[in-house]
A and B are shown apart, each in its own frame.
Chain A
Amino acid sequence: MNKLPLLHKNAYLTIVVKDNAIWSHLAYVDYNSEVQYILSDYTDISHLRRRLDDPIFFQGFWNEYFTLLQKTFGWEFMETLDKNLNRVMEFKDENYGLSGIKVLVDDNQDFLVNIFHSITQYSHDIAVRVMDKPHMRKMIGKFAEKLGYRNLLYIDLDIDSFQIYRVDRENKNKRDNKLPIQYKYEEISQQWSSEIAVIDSIKNKKLRAFLAADIDSQQLQNSWANLILHPVDVLLDQNLLDILRSFTTVQLLSLFTDNRSKLTEMGEGNTLIILGGKIPRLLGKKMTLLTVIDGLELYGHFDVAWDNDCKVLAYAISTSEGIGSSDIVIGKNDVLSGITKVLIPELKSKRAVNKVIFSGSIDSQDFNREKILLLGDTFEMVDIDNKINKVIFEGKFEENVYIPSLENKKVEFISSPMGTKYDNLLIDSRLRPIIYGTDSYKNKLKINKWLNAN
């Protein structure tokens, strides 16, 4: 394959089709002028889910989609020649042409084959690939190398499918440009066969133990069923948010119980967890972290990145391959949004509750030094305000907590807008073991305290 000269201008379109949604990311780079950006678009196709096998979908959908996408991005890249032959226009400059289009279709996507055929029928210039286990292994293996983490987990949380992909790079031998097969890969998956099966999964008796909303079984069933049948992008109903949080916690807990050996050593400081899928988008950062920490019983310290718009899925391999990439050379900061640093200490005793367990500061040339004091038995998220200059975070845990993965209990990191950008710091110092229940009212008090602590 041709290698791209590093400094050439280039534009490439990668489309991810997953969970009845289409994510399009047009990446443009011009390293001579120090310009690089990604234009993004999201289209929910869940309304078409009954008709993706329909001739009507085959005939006109992609033609209309690409026509509109060009308008949305203000970028000409498709031309129709004779007999409805659609070609990708050769890349000339910014806003004109592309060096290629690649469509990645998730292997769990309904009517995968129909989508595959309809795209190739629309244009032979578009490369269509399936995001299956080998693809995901390649992605996490290479991305972990690029970012320098020993462990990398991609946790894909869609409502009808929970998937965890993990690479452990303890063994560093590898062959160039091939899947680093020597690394240890693990996959954990929980999928439901149909919408009705997902709806019925709410009948799990454990769910009640996690619920904070006081709703009767009938209302619970009906609301949940309607959410599954009519997916939304924004969830404002507090009861539904609570059901979704509880459902996610129960499912993760069940995955963790069944696969305990595959999910060890994640809190030792050299782990990146990338959270993707619909659930993190609906729950938001803090509630998602609460769910993932409790579901997977996480402790210690690790980093969390967010793939809310499937950019990691689209470009992680290109980013990792750098100048060896066959599509586009793109920086990691364009692919990864801000990282959340998570610290989960264990209180040595109940006496540390409501006592200072952590003191630190955030410093930057862009703002005055801010001091941070955190109390025991809280779940607090601190925002890191990244502007132009680097932000230095320094802090130390007190003697009343236990966090063996941190040397001298010190936390020091630099957030750099051009390097590794940290957006938040989460310190979960809740008293272990975390106890939910015994009724929804007690859960409500606890969850309110944890989520509204800032």
Chain B
Amino acid sequence: MLIKARIFEHYNNYTFKIPLKGGERLYVKNQQRVLPGDTLFSKSENRIKESYFLVDELGCKTTECYKHISCIDGSYVEEGEVLAEKVSKNGLSVKQIVATASGVVDLERLSKGFLDILAEEEESIIQSNFSGVVIDVLPASHINISSPASALDLSATTLFEEKLFGNMVFVNKSERLISEIPDIDLKGKIAWVGAHLPLNLALKAFQRGAKAILAYSMEYEDFKNLGLPIGIIEGFGRIHCDEKFLKELYKIDEKFVVLDGQETQLFIAKSEQREKVESQFFVKELLGAQIISRHSAHYGYIGTIVQINDLNYVTVDFGQSGKSIVDLGSLDFIVM
């Protein structure tokens, strides 16, 4: 029997956890109903003014960045001061990172390879853009909220037990790759910069303060080496991302999402569940069923079965890409 893979699992009520680090001012309490626009909590934060990726700039591993730092965490530096230095070739070669702006040094992301210069402290307010009920509040630990939600399975994520939250932002909705990140504030956001994620673009998004990046595919080596929060929806290498999927994905723009490393899923909180909550697991009828191909000739293409042939073969209509005869074992049945 054949199972339908639900690309988005829709829930009328799903309890998700917003992690708290401590120092937040809470505006919600247990059993409180939360509506879009309500303030959940606020915290004092410094906006990132400048960011340097030491792995690229100095040519060192993320685990060795601390060895080259020549400034103190939390200290104020003036423009032109040396922040990090790497001496090599017995002192013949010296690479330096010089502050291009004045501000407070922040080494919080040093383990991920970043050295940040922060602007003045400002209060950031986390507001709800969904409706739900607060189930549990534990300061410095978490807020649990039950709300209508959808979940998107991820193929892989660099997070392990961690959960990251923020508003989803689509920096690039075109099919083409971009080389520069437009002037959008990504601080605290989960960003999408295109279906395929090249390493240099990922770094630029993180330099802009993105909390995590969601992508359809990227090179496995980059995924492993980057060491920053990434969620991969489909897989590795350049994989065709079907526009039918993108159309559904773009619906989560600006939504509050939780990237859950433990579940390897992305949860999307909503103000109401407009999608049909699918209750059936199995494919009842092959004809007309929607599939995604796992055959190397059309890997990742979404199509519809239009004819059943002998010996487990079916004809699939891939729309503009034409029709193809495919073995059933090379197809995944899907529901958007």
Contact = CB atoms under 8 A, between A and B. Distances in A.
A30 B299 CA distance: 48
Contacts, number: 89
A234 B295 CA distance: 9
Nearest to B152: A50
22 contacts: A41-B1, A42-B1, A47-B4, A47-B332, A50-B154, A54-B9, A56-B11, A64-B281, A65-B282, A68-B282, A69-B1, A218-B220, A218-B221, A222-B220, A226-B236, A226-B239, A229-B155, A229-B156, A229-B235, A232-B329, A232-B330, A236-B327
B308 to A, nearest CB: 16
Contact of B294 (A56, A199, A230): A230
Given A221-B236, A230-B294, A234-B329, A45 B3 contact: yes
Interface of A: 41-45, 47-48, 50-51, 54, 56, 60-61, 64-65, 68-69, 72, 195-196, 199-200, 217-219, 221-223, 225-226, 229-230, 232-234, 236-237, 240
A126 B39 CA distance: 50
B290 interface: no
Nearest to B260: A50
Contact of B2 (A43, A221, A240): A43
B134 to A, nearest CB: 20
Contacts of B155: 229-230
A225 B330 contact: no
Contacts of B11: 56
B1 A65 contact: yes
Contact of B1 (A56, A60, A68, A223): A68
A47 B5 contact: yes
A230 B330 CA distance: 10
Given A65-B282, A229-B235, A199 B2 contact: no
A237 B3 contact: no
A392 B154 CA distance: 55
B50 interface: no
Most buried by B among A47, A48, A229: A47
A50 to B, nearest CB: 5
Contacts of A41: 1
Interface of B: 1-5, 9, 11, 151, 153-156, 219-221, 224, 235-237, 239, 263-265, 279-282, 294-296, 299, 327, 329-330, 332
Contact of A225 (B235, B265, B282): B235
B280 A64 contact: yes
Nearest to A229: B155
Contacts of B220: 199, 218, 221-222, 225
Contacts of B154: 50
A45 B153 CA distance: 14
A195 B263 CA distance: 13
Which A-B residue pairs are the 6 nearest by beta carbons? A234-B329, A222-B237, A47-B5, A233-B329, A222-B236, A226-B235
Nearest to B299: A226
Given A232-B330, A234-B327, 17 more contacts: A43-B2, A44-B3, A47-B4, A50-B154, A61-B281, A64-B282, A68-B282, A196-B156, A218-B220, A221-B236, A222-B235, A226-B237, A230-B332, A232-B294, A232-B329, A236-B295, A237-B296
Given A65-B281, A229-B155, A233-B329, A47 B3 contact: yes
A401 to B, nearest CB: 40
A232 B224 CA distance: 24
A233 B221 CA distance: 26
A317 B237 CA distance: 46
A58 to B, nearest CB: 12
Given A56-B9, A61-B281, A230-B155, A222 B295 contact: no
Among B221, B224, B281, B299, max chain A CB count under 10 A is at B281
Nearest to A55: B11
B329 A43 contact: no
Nearest to A48: B3
Given A60-B281, A226-B236, A229-B235, A221 B221 contact: yes
B220 to A, nearest CB: 4
Contact of A234 (B4, B239, B330): B330
Contacts of B156: 195-196, 225, 229
Contacts of A72: 1
B157 to A, nearest CB: 9
A105 B156 CA distance: 26
B226 to A, nearest CB: 14
Contacts of A240: 296
Nearest to A223: B237
A54 B153 CA distance: 12
A1 to B, nearest CB: 32
A232 B293 CA distance: 10
A64 B224 CA distance: 39
A51 B151 CA distance: 10
Contacts of A217: 221
A50 B264 contact: yes
